[in-house]
């Protein structure tokens, strides 16, 4: 019944806005007066399933664990969860080596567990996004096993096989991102296969239409099971130069794995990848799916290519330039926000994920990290765009890398030690409470629980009105209920201020102002609101002593002030 009503509403909106971009993005989901779709208002939350919640106490998180925490996520203000790969996998790259795209790895549960998770999430209006590893499969995937079985096998051309240059010599100089040559010799068929990542992750040959069809069908299969979309893994690596030209050397010396430092000119970012994204988008549109991209771009011009002409590729290409800002600098953030705000599509902000140091440590000064965690939350949760949170960020989890090589789980950390310690540090178990193993598992967790669990955990922070968690909840609540924060335009204020980042979000005659003190000293700023027609500011949410008087905001060190503008 509800579905039919929604469908009808959309038809009506569609008719009224015929010809506009909003109408072109055919959707059976409700759009608002601005033509915004659900994913433009939603808060996404990345879950690394191994580390979220362990229901059967084998030390590894699982789907039932996620289901048991849906109420927590709902209460926090999460609308969609992106689960990193939970499909059958030898786990060489912890799930990013998929051996069957249409099933669940037994360590995470069963398809029935997935269906329960999907149903329970739906009850709470939480959508599920799966991770789609498009560039490569596991070397244990049946396609690859057949591919390597003989030169004439049905799946031979599903992967990239080439003769060596000469005896013992790979086809060219390309090195894998995860160390060593990108080519692995297979003595049985006397050829090399190509892998951008680990040798256990052979690259699919996307020039083969059969690969395209099979992969597109995978997404259809999951859409039918109720998933709302995909996060597309490593999209820039989909195609390689068929002429196999050697990559140029970027600079002399060796990387952490002892390999030459190359510019990936001939094996990343080939224009053909956009055909695939357009194809995946067409399939997504059949089911109103949303596509998020792992898009490491050099600038916003490149980010724009991922939205595609008339927005026919990814709805949500992640802006990693934002996550790559390495210091708490209003100048840097202002520049990047303005650039992305002017981009061709809807901004997608990320500050942490399972591959990079958490923002808690990137911006923390060692003394005010909790305050800075609140400030970063206030920043990207109040911008125009869709935020993708990372589990544990909301409680101030700290990146905690191993201190001894023998404890490293992420293979790149073992190969690159000590220069590259791997990604274990940002993948540690979620800190639920102050009990043993932070309430994550009664078994031995696959990665040790950081010592900070005694001070930073969900249970204790829920009781402390000044915790990072309670602050996140308040910002998220405001974001979900305030029109200006949902739909308002972004405009920078006081653009030459080197200590305070401030901006307004304007929706019709409503306005919200955000002022963030990125410095270690108290600051007083007069906000330049006149030309926007506002005179003073009413407090909506602030940290500590931060407050507004008239058009002047006082901020404690690293203080946050969010206020409503009045005329
Ligand atoms: C992406 C994932 C990363 C993985 C790699 C290979 O970058 O985020 O975790 O190792 O792809 O699949
Ligand atoms: Ca488990």
Taking CA atoms only, the protein residue closest to ligand 1 atom 2 is 233
Strand order in the sheet with 127-133: 316-317, 290-293, 229-233, 127-133, 80-83, 44-47, 386-390, 348-350
CA atoms within 13 A on the CB side of 331: 4
Catalytic residue check, 217: no
pLDDT truncated to tens, each residue of the chain (567 aa)? 333 333 333 333 333 333 333 333 333 456 878 889 999 999 999 999 999 999 999 999 999 999 999 999 999 999 999 999 999 999 999 999 999 999 999 999 999 999 999 999 999 999 999 999 999 999 999 999 999 999 999 999 999 999 999 999 999 999 999 999 999 999 999 999 999 999 999 999 999 999 999 999 999 999 999 999 999 999 999 999 999 999 999 999 999 999 999 999 999 999 999 999 999 999 999 999 999 999 999 999 999 999 999 999 999 999 999 999 999 999 999 999 999 999 999 999 999 999 999 999 999 999 999 999 999 999 999 999 999 999 999 999 999 999 999 999 999 999 999 999 999 999 999 999 999 999 999 999 999 999 999 999 999 999 999 999 999 999 999 999 999 999 999 999 999 999 999 999 999 999 999 999 999 999 999 998 877 788 889 999 999 999 999 999 999 999 999 999 998
Pairing of strands 348-350, 386-390: parallel
Pocket-testing residue among 195, 197, 420, ligand 1, by greatest number of atoms within 8 A of Cβ: 197
Catalytic residue check, 552: no
My answer on whether 419 and 470 are in the same domain is yes
My answer on whether 284 and 339 are in the same domain is yes
Average pLDDT, the chain: 94
In a domain, 482, yes or no: no
Query: Which residue range forms the structural domain that includes residue 497?
Result: 488-566
Q: What is the pLDDT of residues 330-339, one digit of tens each?
A: 999 999 999 9
| 3-state helix vs strand vs coil in the chain, percent to 5 | 35, 20, 50
Tell me which of 474, 496, 516 is where a domain ends.
474
My answer on whether 436 and 493 are in the same domain is no
Classify residue 431 by its DSSP letter. Answer: -
Q: What is the pLDDT of residues 517-530, one digit of tens each?
A: 999 999 999 998 87
Q: Calculate the CA 393 to chain-centre distance.
A: 13
Determine phi and psi for 246, rounding to 5 degrees: -60, 145
Q: Residues lining ligand 1, CB < 6 A?
A: 93, 96, 133, 197, 233-234, 294, 354-355
> CATH number for the domain including 85?
3.20.20.80
In ligand 1, the atom with minimum distance to the C-alpha of 96 is 12
Q: Give distance in angstroms: CA of 440 to centre of ligand 2.
A: 10
My answer on whether 346 and 442 are in the same domain is yes
Q: Which structure tokens are listed for 341?
A: 């705000």
* Rounded-to-integer distance, Cα 36 and Cα 347, Å: 13
My answer on whether 282 and 369 are in the same domain is yes
Taking CA atoms only, the protein residue closest to ligand 1 atom 9 is 355
Overall domain count for the chain: 2
Tell me which of 440, 474, 508 is where a domain ends.
474
> CATH number for the domain including 514?
2.60.40.1180
């Amino acid at each position: 019944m509800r579905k039919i009503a929604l469908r009808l509403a959309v038809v009506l909106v569609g008719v009224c806005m015929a010809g506009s971009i909003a109408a072109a993005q055919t959707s059976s989901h409700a759009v608002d007066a601005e033509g915004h779709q659900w994913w433009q208002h939603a808060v996404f939350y990345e879950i690394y399933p191994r580390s979220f919640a362990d229901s059967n106490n084998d030390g590894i998180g699982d789907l039932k664990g996620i289901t048991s925490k849906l109420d927590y996520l709902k209460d926090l203000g999460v609308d969609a969860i992106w689960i990193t790969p939970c499909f059958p996998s030898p786990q060489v790259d912890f799930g990013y080596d998929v051996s069957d795209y249409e099933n669940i790895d037994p360590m995470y549960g069963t398809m029935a567990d997935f269906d329960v998770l999907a149903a329970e999430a739906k009850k709470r209006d939480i959508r599920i996004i799966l991770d789609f590893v498009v560039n490569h499969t596991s070397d244990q995937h049946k396609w690859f096993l057949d591919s390597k079985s003989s030169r004439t096998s049905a799946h031979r051309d599903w992967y990239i096989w080439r003769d060596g240059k000469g005896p013992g010599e790979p086809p060219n100089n390309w090195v894998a991102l995860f160390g060593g040559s990108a080519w692995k010799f297979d003595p049985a068929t006397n050829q090399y296969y190509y892998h951008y990542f680990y040798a256990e992750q052979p690259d699919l040959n996307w020039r083969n239409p059969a690969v395209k069809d099979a992969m597109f069908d995978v997404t259809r299969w999951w859409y039918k099971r109720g998933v709302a979309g995909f996060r597309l893994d490593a999209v820039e690596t989909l195609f390689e130069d068929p002429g196999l030209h050697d990559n140029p050397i970027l600079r002399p010396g060796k990387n952490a794995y002892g390999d030459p430092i190359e510019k990936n000119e001939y094996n990343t970012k080939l224009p053909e990848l956009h055909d695939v994204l357009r194809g995946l988008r067409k399939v997504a549109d059949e089911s109103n799916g949303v596509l998020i991209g792992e898009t490491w771009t050099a600038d916003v011009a490149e980010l724009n290519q991922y939205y595609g002409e008339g927005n026919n590729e990814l709805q949500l290409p992640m802006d990693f330039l934002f996550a790559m800002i390495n210091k708490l600098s209003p100048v840097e953030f202002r520049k990047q926000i303005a650039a992305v705000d002017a981009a061709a599509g809807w901004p997608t902000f990320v500050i942490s994920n399972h591959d990079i140091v958490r923002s808690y440590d990137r911006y923390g000064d060692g003394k005010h990290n909790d305050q800075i965690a609140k400030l970063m939350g206030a920043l990207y949760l109040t911008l125009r765009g869709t935020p993708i949170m990372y589990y544990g960020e909301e409680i101030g989890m700290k990146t905690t890398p191993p201190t001894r090589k023998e404890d490293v789980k992420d293979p790149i950390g073992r190969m690159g030690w000590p220069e590259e310690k791997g990604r274990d540090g940002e993948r540690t178990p979620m800190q639920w409470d102050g009990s043993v193993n932070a309430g994550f598992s009664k078994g031995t967790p696959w990665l040790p629980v950081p010592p900070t669990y005694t001070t930073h955990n969900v249970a204790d922070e829920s009781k402390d009105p000044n915790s990072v968690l309670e602050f996140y909840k308040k910002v998220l609540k405001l974001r979900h209920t305030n029109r200006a924060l949902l739909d308002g335009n972004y405009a920078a204020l006081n653009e030459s201020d080197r200590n305070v980042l401030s901006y307004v979000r304007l929706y019709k005659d409503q306005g919200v102002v955000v002022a963030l003190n990125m410095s270690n000293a108290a600051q007083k700023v007069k906000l330049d609101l006149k030309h926007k027609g506002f005179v003073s500011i009413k407090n909506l949410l602030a940290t500590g002593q931060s407050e507004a008087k008239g058009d002047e905001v006082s901020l404690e060190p690293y203080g946050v002030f969010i206020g409503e503008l009045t005329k």
